[in-house]
Chains A and B, each alone.
Chain A
């Protein structure tokens, strides 16, 4: 009896949360384009973090999406909306709301994540380290913002109603290394993640390299000129866990990626990413839209532009 009561409460809570989450995502998605002055120049990565921090006072709002179709499973779209704010030149904080929709199942709000990035060295070096710490509280998450441990395509075969009973409260730490060489950005991430439920530490990596198609700016406004595009390559995957480090039973992805800075300040990015082994989903299609609002809180001050 107690079990049924608990299940009923869980169902009621999750339904309520999912409705509230979906409404929040929808609302934010609608409000986002109405924001005022915005400019962006970003690397075209979806999983890899570069050494770049958000400029102090700027708010970057970004909607990430990933579409996949695991063999013998239902197609899904995982989405998250990200609010990235530059607190200081050396400290960036981000808050995410996550959701997903799975064909023949449901559309649900899957949780939130809060991350902070710190850049310990004030100046530019050949390799620039950034420290990253994230807390996440999710369930049935399908946004695939990183791959760690033995994450793989079989995780996506679990139906939503069952997957969301498994609460994932995790701490994730990353060492981000980034370099800029002759217009190229090269970024490497070393990831470790710990589930508070007592699972072993899990490991993963991400690597990205990109370059603008044209480095110098042209003297006149243009929409589809080469300087507005950045292209690159991204690779990421799991590295096992504390009980078995390595590539065995891990998923690995590789794909080209490109973004375009639109004239109205919007940046659009797209990447098809291919699973490199049988443990991965064969193809993931990622796309994102972002706005950077400069000096966000200045808009609320009297006389703020």
Chain B
């Protein structure tokens, strides 16, 4: 038993450092990483009158704590009223970001919300310009 324990420790360390190495190379400007197909996706909730209000509810529940109650950003997290989010990024770009996250920069994936809620929160964010 004693001879196996160091092997287990080495295996654990390998797992940890492999993960670290993967994330060290995975950061960068997320917008440049969005595939063209995702960038061009159309928000199916864009024209729905209740989508902004529903998106606001989702935003308050899940996003406001990092990005601020009015999406102005906090000390460490960016404003969602920036030109990059409001003008450069398409709805498809934002959808891609919310699905994939930017884990190396602290942005988690929100895929668990499901597509409809992701599109709704994008409607709200885009309404802030």
A residues near B, CB below 8 A? 37, 39, 41, 43, 52-53, 55-57, 86, 88-91, 118-124, 131, 133, 171, 180, 182-183, 185, 196-198, 212, 215-221, 294-295, 298, 305
Contacts and interface: CB of A to CB of B under 8 A. Distances in A.
Contacts of A119: 19, 103
Contact of B57 (A122, A133, A219, A298): A219
B15 interface: yes
B19 A90 contact: yes
Contacts of A89: 101-109
A217 B26 contact: no
A204 B113 CA distance: 29
B1 A39 contact: no
Contacts of A41: 61-62, 112-113
9 contacts: A86-B108, A88-B106, A89-B103, A90-B103, A197-B1, A215-B114, A216-B116, A216-B117, A219-B54
Nearest to B57: A217
B18 interface: yes
B16 A118 contact: yes
B68 to A, nearest CB: 10
Nearest to B65: A294
Contacts of B1: 196-198
Contacts of B58: 217
A255 to B, nearest CB: 22
Nearest to B109: A124
A122 B100 contact: yes
Contacts of A196: 1, 5
Interface on chain B toward A: helix, strand, loop, or mixed SS?
helix
Interface string B41-58: 000010000100111011
A237 to B, nearest CB: 25
Contact of B19 (A118, A183, A197): A118
Interface in B4-28: 5, 8, 12, 15-16, 18-19, 22-23, 26
A295 B66 contact: yes
Contacts of A118: 15-16, 19
Nearest to A90: B103
Contacts of B102: 89
Q: Count chain B CB atoms within 10 A of each CB in A43, A122, A123 and give the residue with the most.
A: A122
A90 B111 contact: no
Nearest to A173: B11
Contact of A219 (B50, B99, B112): B50
A180 B111 contact: yes
